[in-house]
Structure 1
Amino acid sequence: MQFLFEIEDVFDISSRGCVLVPGVPDAFRRDVKTGEQLLIVTPQGTYIRTNIAGFEMISRGRPMVHAPFSLPRAVNKASLPVGSKVYLIDATDV
């Protein structure tokens, strides 16, 4: 399991699902693709196992060095507090 980032913001897009920001760092050591498995650990200690539904284009008024992505619509914004840690689950972790 590899740490990706800590959630700074969550956007709920009704037709797409929740988008996590900042997203996968551009400098991450391997390509991350749609469908990859994630583990999100909230500050309260709740575990959410999900996957990347798609990568999104977001303008935050400054150059981005991360790739924000959306989650399946079954995951709601209320369950994704700022400060939650997002981990990429490797095939060897399954």
Structure 2
Amino acid sequence: MIEHTSTIEATFQIEGRGCVLVPGIPRDADTHVKIGDHVYILDEHRDCIDTVIRGIELIRAQPRLKGFPILLPKSITKDDIAIGAELHIVEQSPSDGKQNKSHFDVGDNVNVLMNARNHSPHVGQITEKLWHHKFQLWYYYLRDSDGHKVSKRYTAADLLPAEKRTEP
């Protein structure tokens, strides 16, 4: 997986379609971003909106734009996104029949990002990782700092690496 990061400069609400973010996908990057790729947005308080790309806006005669604006699902509005927030687009590498490289390994210490999918803060260690063939991504399972198994699976976009690594 490849992650593209940019700062949101503008948001637009298009009635009947949804919220559009500018600059979106960087023009200067060699990208293979597509509809359905994972996106997360971090504001200045490190609150996270976790979603996917619903559309890619191709605007002609706009060479001054730094990228191709992206459309988010209708459930996310312009009011949900602050100008200046960090946009992270997680590009799924083209699959050649091999599993993509994992962001985390068993034994890595991680923090769970608080977002629409995650309502409970967890700090823990990855105990298992599982490749999901249909969605072409890794799922991770954790034990919290007290040694209890967390019953939820997480994606790389749900996790941040903690400072140190402990071998299992």
| TM-score tier (shorter) | 0.7 to 0.9
The question of whether the paired residues in 1 share the 8 Å contact of 2:5 and 2:89 is answered with yes
Question: Rg larger in 1 or in 2?
Answer: 2
TM-superposition CA deviations, 1:8-67 (whole Å, max 9, x none) = 0000001110000011112223310010001110122210100000011346x7513411
Aligned positions of 1:9-88 closer than 5 A: 9-58=10-59, 62-63=62-63, 64-88=65-89
Aligned-partner residue type, residue 76 of structure 1: T
Question: Compared with structure 1, are the counterparts of its residues 62 and 30 closer, same or farther at alpha carbon in structure 2 (3 Å cutoff)?
Answer: closer
Runs of 4+ in 1 over 4 A off after TM superposition: none
d(CA) in 1 for partners of 2:78 and 2:86?
Answer: 14
Q: Which runs of 5+ in 2 are unaligned?
A: 93-101, 104-154, 156-168
Q: Secondary structure at the match of 2:51?
A: strand
Q: Which of 20-29 and 70-79 deviates more?
A: 20-29
**Equivalent pairs, count:** 93
TM-score w.r.t. structure 2 length? 0.50
Residue pair 1:3, 1:85 contacting (<8 A) in 2 also: no
Between the aligned partners of 1:25 and 1:52, the Cα distance in structure 2 is 14
